[in-house]
A and B are shown apart, each in its own frame.
Chain A
C-alpha cells in the first residue's frame, strides 16, 4: 500500500472507520509519508536511510472520557478492531473535565505546501547533493559535516460530526558546517524549502566555506553590550530553542491569564493590547504565504488563517486552547503553523554597510531559558562571528555567551533587512543595539 494517500483514498478509509463507531463521538486521524536522510562528517557519509509509514488513530469518546487506539493495517477487520479497542479504552479512562466536544464541518483556506520534485527525491539524488557539498570542501582542504532530511507526508482527519480535512506537504532541510583543517575556523549555513529544486547544497556550502576561512584566528573582544546584526539563523533554529520562536510560542493566553507568562499583567489580567515592542515589529501567521506554505488546519481541526500576533509593537492576539477560549468567551485562535516577521528591503550586506561598529552573528547555540518571567535566554554565538567597523567586516572575533530577552531585543531595534525563509518561517536579519554578551568562549 502506498504511504501517501490522495484526499479521496484517505476519506474512504476514514468514512469506513466512522461507520463502525458506536461511541458518543469518534474522531479519526490518518497520516503517512516517507522520509529520507543523509548525514556526513569528516568529508565522508556517516549515515543515510529512508523510511516510510502509514498509520491510523481512532479516538472514541463517551461523555468526557476518551480513548485512542492506533493501527497500521487497513483491512476491514483491523479497522473495526481498532474502533472497538478505542471504545474500550475510553470507557476505562478517567473523565477529563476540560474535554471539548468535537468540531463540526469547517471551512478551510486553500494552501499549497506540496512539491512534486521533493516527493520524487531518490537516494541517488541525495548522494549527488552531498557530493556537491563535499567536493568543494575536499578541494580546498576544508572539512565538511552536513545533514539533509527530506519529507513527504499527508494528514487527513474526520469525525462523527462531519468534519473532514486533508493536507499534503513536502519539506527539505539542509545544514552544513565547514571547519578549517587546523580547527581554528568554522562556518555554518542552512536552508529549508518546500520545493527541493530551490535548494542548492553547493551555494550553501560555499557560504559556510567562506565563513570558515574568514573566521580563523579570531580575536577576543571584551564582553559587554554591543550592536549586533543577527542573521535569520541566529533568530530561528531548526535544531535548538531560539529567541524568536521561544517568544512566539510563549504567547499562550491561558498561561498569561494564570499569571505565569511574560504577557501576564501586574495585579492580574494580560498585556493584550499593550505596546511591548518597537513600533516596527509586526509578526503574523499565514498558511497561504507562497514562500512558507502550511497546512490549512491545526491538529484539532481548527482552521489556520492569517492571524496578527503583534502589530506595530502592540500585542494583538494570543493563541487559545478551545477549552480556555470557551471559558473566557472568546474566539479560539489556534497557535500558528508558521510565522512571518515583517522586515525592510535591505540585504544583509546593506545592513553591514550601514553599521559603524558592531558584531555580525551567524548563529546562536545551546539556547536555554533562564527566567520564564522575562523570557531571559542564554546561549552562545557559533560558526562565524565577526567585528564590523565603518560598514566593513574587519576581523573574526571569539564567540560570546549572551544573556538576553527577545522582548528587550525587540525594543532595541535599529534596523531590519529583507525577510528570508528559515525553519518554515519568514524572518528578517535584525540589527539590535545593546545586545548583552556576558562572557567569552574559546570554542571554535
Chain B
C-alpha cells in the first residue's frame, strides 16, 4: 500500500480551499503516461479484472468470509499550480491497487495491496478475514447487510466531451497564464490559479454477483486574486466563482448560453465556465473591496447566490442527514447530528419552511456525486431528504438500511482510493428551485433591507450542525429593492432549523446551477470525496449578520 502524499498549501494559495493540504494519491508519473492511462491504454483488461476479483472472492470465502467485495482501482490525478506568470507545480499522479472488504464472524474486515497479482490478492483477502476475526471479539452486534441483487457485468462512464488528460499541459498553462495576466492587468497585485483533474477507474465485484466497471471524471478550475493597499496596510482577496464539476475539459469552454446574468455585472456560470472573464471581474471586485463599507451588524434579509448557498446546504443539510453521523460513528471526529431518528420518526419535524424541498441524488448530469453504482454495488438513484419542509429520509448504505426500516441501501457508499475502506459519504444534496417564474433581479426588487451574497467564504458549524457562521466572496447591500453598494466584513450566524424556516422565496429553474466541494473530508483516517449542491438564488428573511472587522 502507498501512504498518501500531501501537497502542503502554504504558499500555493488554493482558491476556496481553506484546509491545510490537499491529497495527492499515489506515485508521480508523466503527463504522457496519464494520457495513455486515462485512455485506458495502460493496465489490465476487464476480463483479467474479473478473474482477479474471483480469486479474492474465493480466497475470502475459503477463509470463512460470509460476504466479500473487491475494488480494483486506478486513480489518476493532474493538478496544475501557478502564481503570477510562473508555473509553481504540476502534480501528475497514479495510484493502482486492490481493496478487499469482508464480513467474517459478523464483523467487517478490510485489507488492501498494491500487489495486484493472484498471490498478492489471495494474501490480501486472507488478511482482511484475519482482521475481521480478530476484531470480532470486541464486537457487540453482527453487521446486518441489506440485500442487493447482483447486477451482472455492467459498465458506466461520466459522459464527458473532452478528456482533460488528453489536453496538452501547454494548453492548460497557456490558459492559466492568460487568466493570471488579465487579472494583473485589471489590478490584481498577486494571482494564483489552479486546475484539478481526476479520473477514477474503478472495478467492483462482490459475492452478490456484480462485476461493475466505471470510469469517472471530475474537473475543478479555480483562482485567488489578491489586491494590496500598502499605504493603508490592507489586503483583500477574491476567489473564483467556478464550481467543480463531473465533466471533462469542456467545462472550460465558457459558453455564453451557460451564463446567467445578475445585477452589477455579475455573472453566474451553469455548466460552462469562462475563467478569463471571471478573473477580470474578480480583480475589479477585489479592488472595490478595499474601500467597501464595513457592515452594520443586525438582522438582514439575505439573497444567496447558488455559488454561495451550495456550501450552506452542504454543511447544514448534507452533513446532518448522514446516517452514520446520526448513529454516532463519527462522534470522535466530524461529530454527530441534531437530525436524530426520533425527530425523523415523527414525520412532522419542520427542518425548513414549506418552500424547502431537498433531494439527494447520484444521477444528476454534470455533478460530482453522479456515478452508475456506489462502492458497494448499489445502483444510483434520487430520493427526498426534506419534502415540503419536513425531514423524511437520510443518506444510508447497506449496513444501515435496516435501522431505517428500509429494504435497500440508497447507494451512498464511497472510498477515495483502493486502499481506503468504503463508508457512508454524501450524495449530491440539492435545493429544488421554485415553481413560480422569478429571476434574481425580481427577487432583489422585493427586499427592503438586505444583503446579496456571492461565493464561498469562511464556513464553520458545530459538531451537531445547529450553529453555523458563513462568510462569502462578495457582499452587496440592498436598500428598498436596489443594490446600493459593496459591503465588507460580513458573516451571518444562524441555527440550522431557524435558518431553513426563514426561507422565504426561490428563483426558478432558469437560475438553478450547482456548487461543489472537491475535497470534502470525513473519517479516520481521513478520506476526501467530491459532491455537488444545486440551487437557484434563494431569499432568507431576518438573518443575524455580524461584523468580522478587527484591529490588531
Contact = CB atoms under 8 A, between A and B. Distances in A.
Interface residues of B, number: 82
A47 B110 contact: yes
B56 to A, nearest CB: 16
B27 A70 contact: yes
Contact of B3 (A53, A143, A365): A53
A369 B423 CA distance: 29
Interface in A166-183: 175-177, 179, 183
Interface of B: prevailing SS: loop
A293 B151 CA distance: 54
Given A72-B27, A88-B30, A442-B466, A376 B548 contact: yes
A438 B138 contact: no
Contact of B338 (A37, A153, A262, A442): A442
Contacts of A69: 28-30
B189 to A, nearest CB: 7
A266 interface: yes
Contacts of A55: 2, 27
Contact of B18 (A71, A267, A368): A368
B43 interface: no
Contacts of B461: 366
B491 interface: yes
Contacts of B329: 41-42, 46, 145
Contacts of B233: 259, 264-267
B364 interface: no
A241 interface: yes
B27 A89 contact: no
A408 interface: yes
Interface in A426-444: 438-444
Interface stretch (A20-28, A107-115, A127-135, A308-316): A127-135
Among B140, B459, B460, chain A packs the most CB atoms within 10 A around the CB of B460
Interface in A334-370: 335, 365-370
A342 B90 CA distance: 40
A378 B513 CA distance: 29
B333 A147 contact: yes
A371 B111 contact: no
A51 B419 contact: yes
Nearest to A376: B550
B86 A97 contact: yes
Interface stretch (B223-231, B242-250, B385-393): B223-231
Given A48-B131, A264-B235, A439-B467, A53 B550 contact: no
B67 interface: no
Contacts of A371: 489, 548-550
Nearest to B231: A267
B1 to A, nearest CB: 4
Contacts of B20: 241, 249
A260 B462 contact: no
Contact of B114 (A72, A88, A374, A376): A72
Nearest to A134: B138
Interface string A75-100: 00000000001001100011011100
Contacts of B353: none
A179 B331 CA distance: 8
Q: Which of B138, B232, B421 gathers most chain A CB within 10 Å?
A: B138
Contacts of B548: 370-371, 376, 403
Interface residues of A, number: 98
B501 interface: no
A407 interface: yes
A441 B30 contact: no
B228 A252 contact: no
A441 B493 CA distance: 11
A267 B230 contact: yes
Contacts of B230: 259, 266-268
A134 B11 CA distance: 42
B18 A442 contact: no
Contacts of B435: none
Contacts of B140: 43-44
B335 A176 contact: no
A414 B29 CA distance: 53
A97 B233 CA distance: 28
B525 interface: yes
B464 interface: yes
A439 B460 CA distance: 13
A379 interface: yes
Contacts of B137: 127
Contacts of B173: 94
A382 interface: yes
Interface string A230-262: 000000000101000000010010110011101
A42 B467 contact: no
Contacts of A408: 550, 552
A209 B226 CA distance: 47
Interface in B65-98: 86-88, 90
A186 B1 CA distance: 36
B3 A85 contact: no
B460 A367 contact: yes
B328 interface: yes
A177 B11 contact: no
A35 B2 CA distance: 10
B134 A443 contact: no
Contacts of A370: 458, 469, 471, 491, 548
A300 to B, nearest CB: 12
Contacts of B550: 371, 374, 376, 405, 408
A70 B94 CA distance: 10
Contacts of A222: none
Nearest 10 A-B pairs (CB), nearest first? A266-B233, A51-B1, A441-B467, A145-B331, A443-B464, A443-B462, A145-B332, A259-B228, A177-B332, A147-B524
Interface of B: 1-3, 10-11, 18-20, 27-30, 86-88, 90, 107-108, 110-112, 114, 131, 134-135, 137-141, 173, 189-190, 226, 228, 230-235, 237, 327-333, 335-336, 338, 340, 419, 421, 423, 458-467, 469, 471, 489, 491, 493, 495, 524-526, 544, 546, 548-552
Given A260-B226, A439-B493, A443-B462, 9 more contacts: A33-B3, A35-B3, A37-B524, A39-B524, A97-B86, A143-B328, A183-B340, A321-B11, A401-B467
29 contacts: A37-B524, A41-B328, A42-B328, A47-B110, A49-B421, A89-B30, A94-B87, A131-B138, A145-B328, A145-B330, A186-B331, A188-B332, A252-B10, A255-B11, A258-B228, A259-B228, A259-B233, A260-B190, A370-B458, A371-B489, A378-B460, A380-B460, A401-B462, A439-B467, A439-B544, A441-B462, A443-B462, A443-B465, A444-B464
